[in-house]
Structure 1
Amino acid sequence: MRMVRVAVFAVIAVAVGGAGYFYRDEVAQRLGLGAFASAAEKGSAASPAAAAQPQGRRGRLNPGGPVPVVVTKVAKKPLPIVIEAVGTVQAIASIQIKPRLDSQIMKVNVEEGALVKEGDVLFELDARTLKAQLGQIEAQIRKDQAQVAQAKRDVSRYEELLSKNAGTVVNRDTAQTTLKAAEAQLEADEAAKASVMTSLTYTEIRAPVSGRIGSISSKAGTVVRVGDNTAASSLATINQVDPIYVAFAIPQVFLPDIRAAMAKGDVKVNALIDDNRKQSGVIAFLENTVDPLTGTVTAKARINNATEGLWPGQFVKVEVILGIEPEAIAVPAPAIQLGPQGPYLFVVKDGVAELRNVVIKRTQGGESVIGKGLEGGEQVVTDGQLRLVNGANVGIRPATPETPSTAAAPPRG
C-alpha cells in the first residue's frame, strides 16, 4: 500500500514539472520575469533604445501597442523676457510723529488709520503759555521802538547844538551810544519774538507727508515731553503709500541684463497681488553691492498706489520685464522632464517618440523657453510622456479638460 502511494506522488510530480517547463514563458511573464528570462535564453543585453532612457524608464518598447499622448506644435513667437521674484511692499516714507516741546495735548484732529494730506493739523498742544510770552515780548518791542525813537531825537538835538557851539562832543557821543543800545535791544526782542512764534507753530503738529496714519498712542489730555525716547513717545506713525516701494532680491546673474535695460530707459515691473490684479511701476533703485551670503542684489520698484492695492509689509510676486524676445521657442512647462543628463522632452515624428535633451532658458507664465535642442514646427508631447521610452510608437489623442493646457499662456506685459 505504501509503495502505491509513493508511485502516485512520483507521477504527479513529473506531470507538474513537465507542465511548468512547457508553460515557462507564460509563467515568467505573469511574474514580471519575462525580460530576464528572455535575456537569459538569448544571451543579449537590453535594447539600445531602452538603454538610452533615464533610470526607471527602461523596458520593452510598446508591449501593449501605441502609447496614447497629447501633443502640441511648437511655434516661434514673441515673448517678454521676465525675471520672477518675491517682493516686500515698503512705504517710501515712514515717519514717526513726535512733539517738539513739552506740553499737553488739547485736541486730536485725526482718527486712527485715516488718510491724511501733507499739512493737515493732526494734534493741537496747549499754547496758552507761549501766547502769553509772545504778548510780553510784543509789548517790550513797542517799548524798545519808543526808546529808539527818543534816542534818535536826542542825537539829532545834540548834533544841532554842537553845530552852534552850544553843546559838547561828549553829550553827542553819549546820545549816539544810547541810540545804538536801544536798537540792539529792539533786535534782541524781535529775535525772541521769532523764537516764541516758532515754538507756537510746534503746538500744531501737522502731517509732514501725505499718507496713511497708524495707531494714535496719545489722546487729548496726555502730557508729552521732548526728552522721552521710549516707543510710547511717538504720537503716531504716517506711512507714505502712494507711490510705494516694492523691494525684491535678484540673482546676481541677471544684474548685467538689468543694468543694460536700465541704461536704455525705464525697466517695467509688475507686482502681482493675486491672479486677477496687478500694479505696474519701474525699477527706481539698485543696491550698490551684491549680498555675498545670498548672491543677490536688492532692487526697489516705485509703483503708483492710488487704490492702495499694495500695503506696507505685504508679500507679492514680482515680474521684471527686461524686453521682448521676438522669436522665442516655448513649450508648456509639463512637457519638460528631468533625467540624469538634465531636462528633456519627447518629440513626435512619424508616430514615433524621440527623447530630446534641451536647455531651458527660463520658465514663466506656465511655459518653459527653450534655448537649445528644439526647433519651431516640431510636435512635443505634453501629456502621457510618463509611459514613453525613446523610439516608442505613439497614438495622438485630443486634449481633455483635465489635460495640462497645450495652449501658450498669453505674455504678461
Structure 2
Amino acid sequence: MLLVIFLSVTSLSCSGGDPKPSSARANVALTVPVTVFTAERRDMPYYLTGLGSASAFYTVSIKSRVDGELVQVNFKEGQFVNKGDLLAVIDPRPYEVALEEAQATLFKDQASLRDAKLNYERYKGLLRDSGAMSQQQVDTQASTVDQLEGTVRTDQAVIDNVKLNLVYCHITSPISGRVGLRLVDPGNMVHANDTNPLLIITQLEPIAVLFTLPEDNLPAVAQHLAKGPLQVDAYSRDNQTKLATGKLLTIDNQIDQTTGTGKLKAVFDNKDDALWPNQFVNVRLLLEVRRDSTVVPAAAIQRGPQGTYVFVAKSDNTVDVRPVTIAFTQDNLSNIASGLSPNEVVVTDGQDKLQEGSHIAIRQPSPAGSQPPPNSASPSSGLPGSGNPVK
C-alpha cells in the first residue's frame, strides 16, 4: 500500500510540471549569437603587389684616365656632388713639361716647313726661267714640303693629346649624385689601367624600383598604363612603413618562364633619400579605383560547393543565405560584384552555426566604416594588401 502511494506521488511530480520553461530553453538554444556588418558603398582601390629592389639610374666608377700621383681630393665621403664638380687632381706637372716639349717640336718643324716651301718656290722659278733646276729636283722638294706638313700635323696632334691629358688631370663628376667611400688616398700613384676606381658616384634622385608581377596581371597593367600614369607605392621590408610614392615607368618586353612573372620598372623622385640602391621593398601598384563599390569584410564571405555566399541578417532576426560574386579581396575587405546591395547587413562572425532561416542574436555590430590597416593581408597572399581576385 505504501509502495503504491509512493509511485503515484512520484508520477505526479514528474508529469505535472509547467512546459513553458522547457520551450524557452529550446528557443534560446536555437538562437545563434553573431557579429554583423552593414555593407557600404565606397570607392575601393585595387592594388597589385609584388617584391622588388631599388636600383640607381646611373652608377659611375670614377677612374683616372692618366698616370700620375693623386695630389688632391676635393670631396667628402657621402657628399652630394653636381655634374661637373671637381673631385680630384692628378699631378699635372709632367704633362705641362710634355706640352712645352711638344710645342717646341712644333715650332721647329713649322720653321723647317716654311724653309722647304721657299725652296720649292725657288726651284720652280729656276726650272721655269732658266732650266737651271731639273724637274726631279722640283718634285723632290715638293715631297719634302708634303712630309714636313705631315710632321707639323703630327706635332699638333701630340700637343692636343698632351692638353687632353692635362684636362684629365682634373677629374670631374660626370653625373649628379652621392659620393661613396674614398677608395684611394692622396699621395698614391694611380694609373689609367687600374682595376679599382677612386670612388663611386650613385644617382639617388630620381631612383628606380624593379619589381615583378604574375604574367596574368601584365595585360591589365599595360591597358591601364596606356591610359595614363599608374601610381606605385614602395613599402619597407616589413611592409609596415610607406617609404615613397612614384609612378610606373615601363614593362619589360619578356616574361621569365621559370617564375611566370614579368619585370616592371617604376621611378621615384626620392627627394628625401628614402630609397637606396639594392634596397628590398614591397611594392603596391594602384591599378584602378572601383567607384561606388559594395564593400564588406572578407570575414563575411563563405565558400561552399555552390560557390561564395554570405549570411544576410533580416529585420526579424533571421538570416538568408545569399550567393554573391566577389570582384576582388584586398586589405581584408571584399568588393562585391553582384548579389548584395549597400546597407544590407551581413554576418561576419558565428557563421559556422548558421543555416537558412536561423535565428540570431546580434552581439555587437561592427562600426560602420571600420577597415583593417592597409598592411594586413590574408596568409595565402604572402604580402600585405594582396590584390588577388577571388574566383
TM-score by length of 1: 0.74
Partner of residue 182 from structure 1, selected from 140, 148, 153: 148
User: Paired residue for 2:211?
Assistant: 248
Shift of the 179–82 alpha-carbon distance from structure 1 to 2, 3 Å rule, reads same
SS at match of 1:112: coil
Total equivalences in the alignment: 350
**Distance change (3 Å), C-alpha of 1:186 and 1:281:** same
**Aligned twin of 2:35:** 69
Cα deviations by residue, 1:264-290 (Å, 9 ceiling, x for unpaired): 333332224576755333222322222
Which of residues 370, 378, 387 is equivalent to 1:407? Answer: 370
Once the two structures are superposed, the pairs formed by residues 260-339 of structure 1 within 5 Å of their partners are: 260-272=223-235, 277=242, 279-336=244-301
User: Which residue of structure 1 lines up, in the alignment, with residue 125 of structure 2?
Assistant: 160
Query: Structure 1 residue 140 and structure 2 residue 105: aligned?
Result: yes
Distance 2:312 2:124 in 1: 114
2:168 maps to 1:202: yes
| TM-score, L = length of structure 2 | 0.78
Aligned-partner SS, 2:145:
helix
The alignment partner of 2:200 has SS state of: strand
Report the CA distance shift for 1:146/1:65 in structure 2 as closer, same or farther (over 3 A): same
What is the aligned counterpart of 1:348 among 297, 307, 313?
313
Q: CA deviation at 1:410?
A: 11
2:302–2:309 CA contact under 8 A, matched in 1: yes
- Indicate if the aligned counterparts of 1:74 and 1:380 stay in contact, CA closer than 8 A: no
- Give me the whole-angstrom Cα distance separating, in 2, the residues matched to 1:139 and 1:404: 92
Partner Cα separation in structure 1 for residue 338 and residue 57 of structure 2: 43
The offset of 1:312, in angstroms, is 1.7
Q: Which amino acid aligns with 2:277?
A: P
Q: Which sections of structure 1, spanning at least 5 residues, go unmatched?
A: 1-17, 23-59
Q: Deviations over 1:195-238 (max 9, x none)?
A: 22222333222222111121112111122234443xxx122221
Alignment partner, residue 56 of structure 1 = none
- Using the alignment, how far apart are the partners of 2:219 and 2:343 within structure 1? 32
CA contact (8 A) 1:73 1:377 kept: yes
TM-superposed deviation, 1:297: 0.8
How has the CA–CA distance of structure 1 residues 134 and 81 changed in structure 2, closer, same or farther, with 3 Å as cutoff?
same
CA contact (8 A) 1:347 1:353 kept: yes
Correspondence for 1:12: none
Whether the 8 Å contact between 2:328 and 2:334 is mirrored in structure 1 is: yes
Work out the CA distance in 2 between the residues paired with 1:160 and 1:138: 33
The structure 2 residue matched to 1:362, chosen from 328, 334, 337, is 328
Q: Which residue of structure 2 aligns with residue 98 of structure 1?
A: 63
Distance 1:96 1:336, change over 3 A: farther
Identical-residue share of aligned pairs (%) = 33
Q: Are 2:191 and 1:213 aligned?
A: no
